[in-house]
Chains A and B, each alone.
Chain A
Amino acid sequence: MLQKLAQIEEEALAALANIQDEAALEAWRIANMGRSAPVMSVFSQMGALSKEERPLVGQRANQVKLAIESAFAQKAEEVKQAALQKSLASERLDVTLPGRPLRQGRLHPATQNLRRILSILGEMGFQVYTSREVESDEYNFQLLNIPPYHPAREMQDTFYIETGVTEEAERQVLRTHTSPGQIRAMRQFAAENPPNPPEIRIALPGMVYRFEQITSRSEVQFNQVEGLVVGKNITFGDLKGTLAEFVRRMFGRSAKTRFRASYFPFTEPSAEMDVECFVCGGKGCGVCKKSGWLEILGCGMVHPTVLQNGGYDPAVYSGFAFGMGPERQLMLRHKITDIRYLWGNDMRFLEQF
């Protein structure tokens, strides 16, 4: 009997060694591990054995059964691995084929750029204040220290609204800058506490309009972002420091600025701020027209008359204001040579942002 068991083990393991696939393995399992497997028949013949032989044969039969089972487990793992390898090899993709396209939505580049500016200003404490686009002559000009026929009006070619009124002072205009919002904001805030109006730190973004022919360099509408700071201790040094910080956040920590005297009716002293050309690093290139500097914004200390018109006593309050053209910055940064791309909304342009 013991001899028979040795033969059973030997034959079973030999048959197993030749097996390659799962079907043969399953057939082998049924033949060698099923109810009618040879080793099982040994167990069923145990009754016929002598009392002495029975433990020996029983022990041996268990050993053979376990050996077969363990060999099967090992073989099953091998067969599974082989099958997996085969299947992985057959499922190889051309990973260079394009991905399945999605419908991609995007924000307009002007929106993206405006948000960047407003977010930097927001971190610096400038709250966004928006105001209307069709304005009275009074708000767009007069309250900003630009009386009718003032030479400063020539700095801004104006679209007028047909209202039947011809007297310049009474006309409606498309705002030429976001500055009328300064007056609206000051008046709104001053009304909260007229004897002691609250300090102001706001950003005024929005579309402004100039009466110009549309060319690659000039547009009838474009965004502007203005900033207004009003408080009891605001100085020209603060203006320089705040704007230099804005520029470092906007154009990089190493961005340098330069302030030149200028003129705006609603600020005094007034300045133009140039930023060292971020394309060439100040060495001079086509973008900065070889000057090494880019004109980025106009600024100045809020004119006493404007503070007064806003309901802030210029003897107590001072402030500064600045204004910039976000689209100009966008064009400089991306070397866009034609401003008409912006409102042309050609998908071939928009999809690049």
Chain B
Amino acid sequence: MSRSVIEPFALPWLLDPPEDLRSQLKVLRKDAESDAGDLRRLAGYALDLNQLGQMGKAVAARRDDLAASGLRPLRLAIAATHTADFLVEALPATALRHGLLIDSYQADYGQTAQAVLDPSSALFAFKPDLVALAFDPLALGLASPRLDEGGGEEAVQSALDYVTSLRDAVHANAGVGVVLQTLPMPQTALFGSFDAGQPGSVRWMVSRFNARLAAEALGPGDLLLDLAALAETVGLAQWHDAARWHDAKVPYALDAVPLAADHLCRLLAAARGLSRKCLVLDLDNTLWGGVIGDDGVDGIALGQGSGTGEAFTAIQSLARDLRTRGIILAVCSKNEESNALIPFREHDEMVLKEEDIAVFVANWTDKASNLQHIAKVLNIGVDALVFLDDNPAERERVRQELPQVAVPEVGADPAQYPLILSAAGYFEAVSFGDEDRKRADMYAANAARSSAMQKIGNMDDYLRSLDMVCSLRPFDALGRARTAQLVNKSNQFNLTTRRYTEAEVEAFEADPAKFTLQVRLEDRFGDNGMISVVIFDCGEEEWVCDTWLMSCRVLGRRVEEAVLAVVADAARKAGAQRLVGEWLPTPKNGLVEKHFEKLGFTFAGDLADGGTRWVLDLANYQAPDLPMVIERADELAGADA
């Protein structure tokens, strides 16, 4: 399901869970024979607090199976000055999403200091790997203004002293690190804007505390959860819920818990080296607007001057910024490589340059195979990849074939891509050093490019899973404008590149010597609209292909085979013996050089200007079984239909 508004609490980069989640979880919890690995898969959905709790029970029941499945175990003790129970409840399920298996212990409410200061406490008996210390402004003496001279500074110092003394106690008593957190800004003002500069106002103290906490309070092995930044990103009005604070001392809205748990888990995963390392980018409609192969370097939307162009610039800028902090960039695009490189070389407003891309893969192979190739070339796991693609069908295909790859659900608006990518936090880090600064260059030096790829994965199963319906009908008034548009715009999958005006297209509709098709394709992601146009000249013996074009969006869906089946059927009924096809080369249609050969035509000679001629003997042609429903207009229905 797509969301039109980005709801930060709803984990918008993840898909909504299946309807029957609760019953699936029940099976996984109670049936020891069921595949516990499914829990990891289900944790990858946008689960709400209730669902996280339900999954947590299944995780507990299947703990041993999960421990054997390669998750990294982590024992986390939590000492909070408020109600952290909801967070604790959400952790085991959220942890799976990040490759962790968390066992947690929570100190009794109100016993934070005792639990940490007493070496023989139950908290230390739990033998934690990390201890999270969660405070709130009230517990730290920062919830009320201190307007006496020097009072604000003193309150902040005393809060920091308290936090660091507990930190030191954890270090001393267990020899492990702590997770500290910044304080989300309270919503109520005292003076108003004046608070910002007035020492001792709550806003002043909380800002100062947060800044000093980040700068001074972390020792080796300690981690900082910047809850204040998270609350700001969400919006304080949504983050805080006074009713929950009053009735149960829950420090933020209950709806914030899944997001807060995700941020904590991504931080813990980062500390265990489990963050993603490489951002793999699609090109057309992801790095620029439009299709380079069709629109050309002057026709794509990118850069200053239009909102759409600037949105793509922002995506590229984020990718470049990630590169400067050591994230590897790669490209995985269905394109002719020569076309795909043109913007990098010729478009003035490209933020990303060719040398920024460590592995550049542009071909027509399925993307799951290409992603495996990219991981192999970079010598990293596919679980280190994040794949950004505007096309929901490509995203779904990759999720099915390579569930280890993170594939953010980015929606349809490129302006939102940077926000969603950032919100997903795939590249969370707990340090930054020289090695990170140099990493991207190091990989760029080894830049590899691949064009030929082995096909893997079961393509047919995938295609069937798309629930495609392909409908074919002759040209008509309803489709005329779109037909003419495709005839005049398509460059790549276009055998003859003959252009016709709308009036000419209209004339074909009534011409008995022309066999015409307009083809539409629907799948479970939606209606692709008209995606192919075909014209044959109908002779007595042979039908000759005048025009055959298709949108590259539906490449690899076997639509061309469906088209051929319908043409062949009609030609047979009309008494023809053969179909004849020609490929007329242009600078852009190298993609279809072998189109007729792939469809079973035999080579019948060279044409002037490098073209080729192909023939299909209808007596030998048999229509294949195709992974889609084919709907043809009545006048096209053959005897076998």
Whether both chains belong to one complex is answered with no
List the interface of chain B (C-beta within 8 A of A): none
